[in-house]
Amino acid sequence: MEETQTKQPGSPQEDPLYAISYENARLEEENKNLKRTVQFYQAELEKFRTPPFIVSEVISITDEQKAIVKLPNQSNFLVEISNTMKEDLKVGDTVVNEQKSLVVTDKINLSKNFPVENYVIVSHDLKVSWKDIGGLSREVEKVKEVLEMPLKDPKTFEEMGITPPKGVLLYGPPGTGKTMIAKALAKETNATFIELVGSELVQKFIGEGAKLVKELFQMAREKGPTIIFIDEVDAIAARRVENGTSGEREVQRTFMQLLGEIDGFDALSNVKIIAATNRIDILDEAIIRPGRLERHIEVKPPEVEGRLEILKIHTKSMKLKKHVDLQEIAQKADHFSGAELKALTTEAGYLAIKNKKSEISQEHLLEAIEIVKEKEDVYEPLTHSYN
């Protein structure tokens, strides 16, 4: 059969020179690909050969441009800083150190990854308002005046040239309504409520306490208006007992960070702090001095009138018999805190249910006083000191 297909001049089949250069180009391309593959595996291999770096925190920078870093095992080292790092290294930075010499070689930005929301309680729509708090009208008035007014109307304060307190300390025995006051303030000012519990901070976040405090204030500024509620503040801010353990130093660092953060924000900003404690007697003066938590409001167990108010609040939606005399109950529930009065009303409800009654009677309430007294070991003022 006759060849019908005409060959193109200069095609590889026809021109041997073209065929060679074509093959050449193909091989060069393949060579490049192989080089890239080798480079990739070399880089991967390098990763396996690289020793791990140590991560530490800069706690001080000396005049000689050296850094004191704190390692995760809590020991401190004075180390050199790589020249490329000298410019922008700050105290508090998280850095990487070469293993042997501990030279600071790089900075890492952990703060963005630190999930502060996982460590504190952040709430927006709380249920407690001022009317749910009984027998504390003077205390509530003070909180309103000192924190609520400047939060709602900072301009007036600014114009008047008054610097309102950044925060208050609520102190008194357990179950008297301190947490309620903080929550109600957040609710009434439509503020974000950030709760941090001092004892948890100390127990759970070893090594992270100071960072948590820093991030928490940052979050508070972003989410403002914000009420930062520090419960059991004595766990962080107790007067120092120099025992020199690393745990103690860690608490100390957290405390210093807290003081720094309080100092660092503007009194007229939309962040306010409420701290609470049962132990004002052991608090470090530094936290309660002017400019910090300068107002101290004592929240005492209620007197008889207060107890009556609290009983009314907690029985408001309960079914009480018509002739129930809450005044008598308030008188007999001597030394009861708000929390115990609430427990009393719940116990009375249980008694009514147990006795198959549809309403709570005076007898149920009287019996409930005894039950709570036995159960709760009702606070006796003379056995503790809160001054």
Binding site for ligand ATP (CB under 6 A): 133-136, 174-180, 276, 278, 310, 313, 338-339, 342
* Cβ-based nearer residue to ligand ATP, 165 or 175: 175
- The amino acid occupying position 112 is K
Question: Rounded to a whole number, what is the largest CA-CA distance in the chain?
Answer: 125
Shortest distance (Å) from residue 242 CB to ligand ATP: 28
* Cβ-based nearer residue to ligand ATP, 94 or 179: 179
The listed partner (ligand ATP, Mg ion, none) that binds 342, CB under 5 to 8 Å by sort, is ligand ATP
* Cβ-based nearer residue to ligand ATP, 61 or 343: 343
With a CB cutoff of 8 Å and minimum separation 6, the contacts of 363 are: none
Residue 294, classified by CB atoms within 10 Å of its CB into exposed (0-12), middle (13-18) or buried (19+), is middle
The 10 Å Cβ neighbour count of residue 239 is 11
What mask, x for binding Mg ion by CB under 5 A, covers residues 172 to 211? Answer: ------xx--------------------------------
Shortest distance (Å) from residue 307 CB to ligand ATP: 9
The residue at minimum Cβ distance from ligand ATP is: 338
Question: CA 194 → CA 22, 198, 213, 292, distances in Å?
Answer: 71, 13, 11, 18
Shortest distance (Å) from residue 361 CB to ligand ATP: 22
Q: 72 preceded by cis ω (within 30°)? A: no
| Chain residues 45-84 in contact with Mg ion, contact rule CB under 5 A | none
CA–CA gap between residue 363 and residue 360 (Å, rounded): 8
Strand partners, 57: 70, 94
* Cβ-based nearer residue to Mg ion, 123 or 362: 123
Q: Which stretch binds Mg ion (CB under 5 A): 171-179, 191-199, 248-256, 315-323?
A: 171-179
Is residue 59 within 8 A of residue 69, CB to CB? The reply is yes
> Of 96, 86, 98, 94, which is closest to residue 61 (Cα–Cα)?
86
* Cβ-based nearer residue to ligand ATP, 135 or 349: 135
The listed partner (Mg ion, ligand ATP, none) that binds 238, CB under 5 to 8 Å by sort, is none
* Cβ-based nearer residue to ligand ATP, 95 or 311: 311
Shortest distance (Å) from residue 287 CB to Mg ion: 18
Residue indicated by tokens 């009065």: 341
Shortest distance (Å) from residue 180 CB to Mg ion: 8
Shortest distance (Å) from residue 200 CB to ligand ATP: 13
* Cβ-based nearer residue to Mg ion, 150 or 175: 175
Shortest distance (Å) from residue 307 CB to Mg ion: 19
* Cβ-based nearer residue to ligand ATP, 61 or 276: 276
The listed partner (Mg ion, ligand ATP, none) that binds 339, CB under 5 to 8 Å by sort, is ligand ATP
Size of the site for Mg ion (CB under 5 A): 2
CA atoms within 13 A on the CB side of 17: 2
Report the relative pairing of strands 271-277 and 192-197 from DSSP bridges.
unpaired
CA–CA gap between residue 377 and residue 184 (Å, rounded): 28
Shortest distance (Å) from residue 231 CB to Mg ion: 5
Structure tokens at 7: 């060959």
Report the relative pairing of strands 104-108 and 94-97 from DSSP bridges.
antiparallel
DSSP string, 9-28: TT-TTT-HHHHHHHHHHHHH
* Cβ-based nearer residue to Mg ion, 214 or 295: 295
Structure tokens at 100: 């042997």
Shortest distance (Å) from residue 334 CB to Mg ion: 22
* Cβ-based nearer residue to ligand ATP, 67 or 293: 293
3-state class (DSSP) for residue 331: helix
Structure tokens at 199: 């004892």
* Residue 385 DSSP one-character state: -
The listed partner (Mg ion, ligand ATP, none) that binds 310, CB under 5 to 8 Å by sort, is ligand ATP
Shortest distance (Å) from residue 347 CB to ligand ATP: 14
3-state class (DSSP) for residue 67: strand
The listed partner (ligand ATP, Mg ion, none) that binds 301, CB under 5 to 8 Å by sort, is none
Q: Which positions touch Mg ion (CB under 5 A)?
A: 178-179
